[in-house]
Structure 1
Amino acid sequence: MSILALFSALVIVTATAEGACTGPNTRTMPPPGAIVVDATGVYNGSFKNVSEGVTKLSTSTGDHTLFLMPGTYKEKVIIPQLKGKLIVQGYTCDTTSYASNQVTITHAMAQRDVPASITKNRNDYTTTLLLKSSNVKVYNLNVANTAGNVGQAIAMKVDGANYGIYACKITGYQDTLYANNGPALFAKSYISGAIDFVFGLYAKAWFESCDIESVGYGCVTANGRTDNSNPS
């Protein structure tokens, strides 16, 4: 191959690689004022784990943004009560599809791992991503509880009001998604499990264009409503 031909080929490959993550549906740079989490620490002013980034969120009534750079974050994350609205955005080349997600939060814990001395809110201790604050939108995250077939092990719990979960991949085995309160919208997301893996007590939850997959024997959902007045 001539030098000119080789150079041309390299230009084409480079252009293709660069063009693979451009356009209106990409989210590869944090917006101004965002708290940035980067496992590599390369992004200037970033934090290396999600939990640390959460502690830096403002206590003001303004809007907050938590932007996660590509990587796998092995931790349990709790979003506490905030005064303002929150957007959690994962790095992606295509906001419209969970298949392009490049950020994963993963944790392995089941009810059997919670000390017997803890008798209240035991599910909270197993949860990988626990959303206690209201008015939260989450985009393009993979959230996993990898404890497996060992009992209740929650990947995501929504425990406030007014949620939007978009193009997220939520995986587990038993009780993967706990929609305790709401209302909550899950759109263009993937949810998998085997035993009652979508459940809740009080939430109004709407699933729009989601892929829901059973990975074992069991029911997809279990509703905990006690009477007809419960809106869940």
Structure 2
Amino acid sequence: MRIFALPLVVLASFVASAAAEYSCAGPDARTQPPTGAIVVDPTGAYSGSFHNLSEAVSNVPNTTDEHTIFLFPGVYREQVLISRLNGPLVLQGYTCNTKLYAANEVTISHAKAQRDISPEITSGRNDLTSTLRLKTNDVKVYNLNVANTAGRFLENGQAVATIIEGNNYGFYACNFTSHQDTVYANKGRELFA
């Protein structure tokens, strides 16, 4: 019996230390919206929240103040357009560790490729496929996964995850996925960390 007890104690201590390492508390966790944030919660459990990012963006006040949109965990299946805003914007995804994109719990996903765009449209085609279309300045994005799931390039054409047409962008612990031209940084300065 003692032979089995020691390995069980060792195993339990490994599990406990792993759980502590991935604890969703501490200085690197972002699990609650900051004061004054616009909140996105697909479950609707958070009072006054919106069900998707597009709804939240359309409710950003038209002021020069910085505004934050906080997203609770989920896969948001939508194509998002953030047009010109008067002030800075912060997009913050729920995470247990702001330093690791692998800990992200928010994904914005859409499936649209070149083959889905009418052949009569000859300009801006990549923009029209993009999952997250950013057309404003001064945006910081934290802990979001952005995906265009339209499929393989050779079969479907380009399918962009995000297009940036503004200045002063920072992307921190974000993950972008698609099959061709994943991030289209068309204008301005961007930082990816």
For normalisation by structure 1, the TM-score amounts to 0.72
Which residue matches 1:173?
179
Alignment of structure 1 residues 115-130 onto 2, 5 Å = 115-130=118-133
Which residue matches 1:55?
58
Q: Which has the higher contact order (CA 8 A, sep 6+)?
A: 2
1-side partners of 2:75 and 2:122: how far apart? Answer: 31
Alignment of structure 1 residues 1-80 onto 2, 5 Å = 20-80=23-83
Which residue matches 2:94?
91
Structure with the bigger percentage of helix = 2
Which residue matches 1:185?
191
Counterpart residue type for residue 100 of structure 1: A
1-side partners of 2:67 and 2:136: how far apart? Answer: 12
| Secondary structure class of the residue paired with 2:187 | coil
1:146 Cα deviation after fit: 0.6
Deviations 1:142-185 (A, max 9, x none): 00001111211100111100000010010011111101012100
Return 5+ residue gaps in structure 2 as ranges: 1-11
Return 5+ residue gaps in structure 1 as ranges: 1-8, 188-232
| Dislocated runs of 4+, deviation >6 Å | none
Deviations 1:17-69 (A, max 9, x none): 8x810110111111111110011111110000110111000110000101100
Which residue matches 2:106?
103
Counterpart residue type for residue 157 of structure 2: G
1-side partners of 2:151 and 2:184: how far apart? Answer: 16
Task: Supply the RMSD in Å over aligned alpha carbons.
Answer: 1.8
| Corresponding pairs, count | 175
1-side partners of 2:122 and 2:50: how far apart? Answer: 33
Deviations 1:62-106 (A, max 9, x none): 001011000000000111100100000000000001010000000
| Secondary structure class of the residue paired with 2:69 | strand
Matched, 1:162 2:165: no
| Secondary structure class of the residue paired with 1:143 | strand
Which residue matches 2:9?
none
| Secondary structure class of the residue paired with 2:60 | coil
2-side partners of 1:38 and 1:25: how far apart? Answer: 21
| Secondary structure class of the residue paired with 1:180 | strand
1-side partners of 2:83 and 2:35: how far apart? Answer: 22
